[in-house]
Amino acid sequence: MESVYDLYQRGCELLEHGDHNAAIVPLSKARDLEPDKASIREALGRALFHAQRYESAAAEFGAVASGAPTNDYALFCLGRSMQLLGRHREACKPLALACSLRPERTDYRRYRDRARRDAERG
């Protein structure tokens, strides 16, 4: 049986090489073995996001953000996942929090503003 570290490393390598769907397998196994490990859940969230599995990605980023509420990246990715699911109102809060944590990030502000605009429309 592979160790959590080996599963995580293999998943990250696959993710780095753009093989997002393949990365989901070892990263999911690693998450199941160490569900409180934020680094594993964040990597799995990235793989799921790039594989366009936004609901699952949102769950992973939400878990990271709930354990580390100042993790701007997890909040941003949670918000982006919500946007891509068409859940613009729900995207507003994590995107606003990410912006407040990292006000210098213009990409964070751009997506926050887009979520607010789309939430008002719909």
User: What's the predicted TM-score (pTM) here?
Assistant: 0.95
Please check whether residue 43 is in contact with residue 24, taking contact to mean a CB–CB distance below 8 angstroms: no
pLDDT > 80? residue 78: yes
Mean pLDDT of the chain: 97
Instruction: Report the percent of the chain where pLDDT is more than 70.
Output: 100
Interhelix angle for 72-84 vs 106-121, to 10°? 40
Q: Band the pLDDT of 1: cuts 50, 70, 90.
A: confident
Cα–Cα distance for residue pair 16/73, rounded to 1 Å: 17
pLDDT of residue 49: 98
pLDDT of residue 122: 75
Architecture of the 54-122 domain = Alpha Horseshoe (1.25)
Mean pLDDT of 93-98: 98
Q: Band the pLDDT of 3: cuts 50, 70, 90.
A: very high
Cα–Cα distance for residue pair 76/95, rounded to 1 Å: 5
Residue closest to 25 by CA, chosen among 48, 5, 58:
48
As a residue count, the chain comes to 122
Mean pLDDT of 29-41: 97
- What's the pLDDT tens digit per position in 39-57? 999 999 999 999 999 999 9
